[in-house]
């Protein structure tokens, strides 16, 4: 076995349920854990069914389920399929639509991890006799000072710890992330070497329930149209919008505002049903206020010097974090562009994930 095939086992011979999406990452996670001597079972969550075109190959839940089943046949491990579709719609999809209707930019993957994968699924696998839940996330869990720490993946290019900040230290001993030290290329290689049927499967789209990544098309039939005014910072009406749900902070194209200069969405105001626009430099924020805070270990009671990410793809920035009873104030060392209410802000100390919260508002206004 190559060096990159090994991952921290934290005790061999445990019964481990691997959440199999039907993709290559979770398939390799299952293979590695089986090779480490664990009793592995594959569990696929049926979450969302896309309508396929007549004659098209199975997609959505059906395609993922059959790929997961094929992986289990190859690895000679049991396969289970659990229908969480109604709860997924309630906890993730309805939340997604509700937040956009409020002029916010939600992160449904954070909600899914918190409430479905590490919520509903973590409970359901107990009925299958599993001691641990494993996933194909690129992140790490390590013991520290009598407890456990959640860490970034060893390779920054694949790190997914941003989506996991809601995990609590108490659940970390029952979780396994076998791919935390791997690169994507290594995972592809391991899948091919083991003859896994998903070895060449393309990377999945960002959101499993939004076909082709077209958020507007998905929201169109789920949020009633509510046209309103596009205004500048002085309140002057520059045009009309088709509904604040179809705009995000930082957006430039499709404003419907003819002002003779480049304008960007600065703010979405559901109370007045207006889209506020202005020049790009007004997108810069010196900080933000976050609520719905959660921390992996004990909630800090003081001001901390940390790094923070305001979006999954954004770079970390040095930050002063002030913790209050119900919210946190984040002060950036350098102004950040397009701080969007509804998105997650995640706090780090080096490689360690401290926790995070949901952005309430930028503080440069």
Mind telling me the catalytic residues?
112, 208
CB 41 within 8 Å of CB 77: yes
Alpha-carbon torsion 155, 189, 165, 354, what sign?
negative
**C-alpha atoms less than 13 angstroms from C-alpha of 129 in its C-beta half-sphere:** 6
Of the candidates 176, 190, 185, 216, which has an alpha carbon nearest to the alpha carbon of residue 203?
Answer: 185
Please give the backbone phi and psi of residue 26, each rounded to the nearest 5 degrees, phi first. -65, -30
Instruction: Kindly report the number of other CB atoms within 10 A of residue 296's CB atom.
Output: 24
CB 245 within 8 Å of CB 296: no
- In the three-class reduction of DSSP (H, G, I as helix; E, B as strand; rest coil), residue 106 is classed as coil
**Beta pairing class for 228-231 and 274-278:** parallel
CB 249 within 8 Å of CB 263: no
DSSP 81-130: EEE-HHHHIIIIIHHHHHHHHTT----HHHHHIIIIIIIIHHHHGGGGT-
Give me 299's structure tokens: 């909630």
Instruction: Check residue 178 and report its DSSP letter.
Output: T
**Beta pairing class for 274-278 and 132-134:** unpaired
Burial class (CB in 10 A: 0-12, 13-18, 19+), 66: middle
Please give the backbone phi and psi of residue 195, each rounded to the nearest 5 degrees, phi first. 70, 30
Instruction: Kindly report the number of other CB atoms within 10 A of residue 116's CB atom.
Output: 19
What are the distances in angstroms from CA 262 to CA 45, 109, 233? 45, 32, 14
Q: How far apart are CA 316 and CA 346, in angstroms?
A: 9
Which helix H or strand E contains 188, and what residues bound it?
Answer: helix 184-193
Which residue's structure tokens are 């690895």? Answer: 75
């Amino acid at each position: 076995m190559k060096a990159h095939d090994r991952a921290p086992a934290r005790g061999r011979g445990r019964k481990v349920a691997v959440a199999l999406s039907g993709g290559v990452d979770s398939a390799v996670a299952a293979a590695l854990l089986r090779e480490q001597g664990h009793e592995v079972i594959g569990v696929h969550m049926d979450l969302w069914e896309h309508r396929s075109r007549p004659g098209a190959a199975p997609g959505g839940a059906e395609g993922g389920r059959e790929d997961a089943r094929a992986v289990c046949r190859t690895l000679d491990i049991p396969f289970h399929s659990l229908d969480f579709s109604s709860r997924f719609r309630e906890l993730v999809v309805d939340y997604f639509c509700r937040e956009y209707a409020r002029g916010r930019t939600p992160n449904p993957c954070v909600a899914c991890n918190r409430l479905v994968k590490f919520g509903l699924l973590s409970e359901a696998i107990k009925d299958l006799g599993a001691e641990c839940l494993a996933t194909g996330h690129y992140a790490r869990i390590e013991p520290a000072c009598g407890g456990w720490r959640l860490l970034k993946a060893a390779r920054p290019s694949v790190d997914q710890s941003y989506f996991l900040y809601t995990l609590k230290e108490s659940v970390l001993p029952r979780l396994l992330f076998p791919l935390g030290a791997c690169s994507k290329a290594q995972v592809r290689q391991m899948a091919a070497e083991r003859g896994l049927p998903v070895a060449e499967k393309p990377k999945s789209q960002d959101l499993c329930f939004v076909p082709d990544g077209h958020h507007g098309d998905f929201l169109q039939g789920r949020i009633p149209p509510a046209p309103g005014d596009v205004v500048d910072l002085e309140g002057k009406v520059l045009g009309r919008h088709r509904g604040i749900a179809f705009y995000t902070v930082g957006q430039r194209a499709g404003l419907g505002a003819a002002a003779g200069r480049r304008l960007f969405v600065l703010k979405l105001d559901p109370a007045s049903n207006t889209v506020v626009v202005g020049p790009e430099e007004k997108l810069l924020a010196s900080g933000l206020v976050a609520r719905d805070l959660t921390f992996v270990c004990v909630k800090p009671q003081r001001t901390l010097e940390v790094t923070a990410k305001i979006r999954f793809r954004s770079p970390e920035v040095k930050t002063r974090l002030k913790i209050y009873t119900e919210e946190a104030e984040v002060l950036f060392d350098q102004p950040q562009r397009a701080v969007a209410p509804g998105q997650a802000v995640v706090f780090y100390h080096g490689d360690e994930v401290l926790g995070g919260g949901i952005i309430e508002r930028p503080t440069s206004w």
